[in-house]
């Protein structure tokens, strides 16, 4: 394994996960680091500065959600949750705590590796390109200075102010990253409306309709939020 390979820190107390993921990550071009407790994970994150952290929520010494802000305090590495907890509330809590993505166990290796690539692209600039005041993803171009959005170079879309704010919030969330309903509602409608999920569903529907050929850029994570960008 090259010493320049991106380091992925796997914080999980299940030995079988490490036995499976270690070789799989290395075969995909990463260097895998192993930690079985939150304390070891913090230590290795500080010592080795990983490019990405795979984090289990059910650690023996603390809940994984509590580890996210500790990692965020000193490390810019994106955090992908890898957990058997499949309840919506767990997903939303982890994402609101600062996780970049959430993959349920058991998982398909191909999907996991695709999620890692998408998160790393986002961390490095991603497929949502920022060029001055212009952002692009697939066929969509958004000019922040002119407040215009075009699909495949066509005429500017006729977006309401709320639809515009929602589109920009989704794009700024990052290519392939889950943005929770609460995050979007707080950003677009304000803190008093973080529970008004019906607003969000209605406006996402309107926005998809107006995006036309680019509507597939907005993907639903049921009960959690939305991903923006092309499929990995």
Strands 7-11, 52-55: parallel, antiparallel or unpaired by DSSP? parallel
Among 86-95, 176-185, 204-213, name the one with the lowest average pLDDT.
86-95
What does the pLDDT read at residue 32?
Answer: 92
Under 8 Å CB-to-CB from 155, ≥6 apart: which residues? none
Better-scored residue on pLDDT, 25 or 125 = 25
End-to-end Cα distance, the chain? 25
Task: To the nearest 10°, report the CA torsion of 92, 55, 122, 146.
Answer: 20
For CATH 1.10.10.10, the residue range(s) in the chain are 129-228
CA distance 112 to 229: 17
Q: Identify the CATH number of the domain defined by range 129-228.
A: 1.10.10.10
- The pLDDT mean for the chain works out to 85
CA distance 231 to 32: 25
CA distance 96 to 77: 16
In degrees, rounded to 5, the angle at the alpha carbon of residue 78 between the alpha carbons of residues 163 and 30 is 130
In degrees, rounded to 5, the angle at the alpha carbon of residue 60 between the alpha carbons of residues 56 and 66 is 60
Cβ pair 174, 220 in contact under 8 A: no
What does the pLDDT read at residue 19?
Answer: 92
Please indicate, yes or no, whether the overall pTM of this predicted structure exceeds 0.75: no
Digit-coded pLDDT (tens) for 145-189: 788 899 998 899 999 888 988 998 888 777 778 888 888 888 888
For CATH 3.40.50.2300, the residue range(s) in the chain are 7-123
CA distance 94 to 117: 20
Size of the chain in residues: 232
Q: Write the class of the CATH domain 7-123.
A: alpha beta
The pLDDT confidence band at residue 86, using thresholds 50, 70 and 90, is: low
What does the pLDDT read at residue 183?
Answer: 85
Q: Which of 88-92, 108-112, 174-178 is modeled with the greatest confidence? A: 108-112
């Amino acid at each position: 394994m090259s010493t320049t390979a991106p380091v992925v820190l796997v914080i999980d107390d299940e030995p079988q996960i490490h036995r499976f993921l270690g070789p799989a990550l290395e075969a995909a071009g990463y260097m895998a680091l192993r930690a079985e407790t939150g304390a070891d994970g913090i230590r290795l994150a500080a010592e080795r500065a990983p490019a990405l952290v795979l984090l289990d929520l059910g650690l023996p010494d603390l809940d994984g959600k509590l580890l996210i802000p500790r990692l965020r305090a000193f490390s810019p590495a994106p955090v992908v949750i890898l957990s058997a907890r499949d309840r919506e509330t767990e997903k939303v809590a982890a994402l609101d705590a600062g996780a970049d993505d959430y993959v349920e166990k058991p998982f398909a290796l191909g999907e996991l590796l695709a999620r890692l690539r998408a998160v790393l692209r986002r961390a490095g600039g991603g497929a949502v390109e920022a060029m001055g005041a212009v952002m692009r993803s697939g066929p969509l171009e958004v000019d922040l200075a002119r407040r215009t959005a075009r699909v495949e170079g066509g005429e500017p879309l006729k977006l309401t102010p709320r639809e515009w704010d929602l589109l920009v919030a989704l794009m700024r969330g990052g290519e392939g990253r889950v943005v929770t309903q609460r995050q979007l509602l707080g950003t677009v409608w304000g803190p008093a409306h973080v529970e008004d999920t019906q607003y969000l569903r209605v406006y996402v529907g309107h926005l998809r309709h107006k995006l036309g050929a680019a509507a597939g850029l907005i993907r639903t994570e049921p009960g959690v939020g939305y991903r923006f960008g092309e499929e990995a």
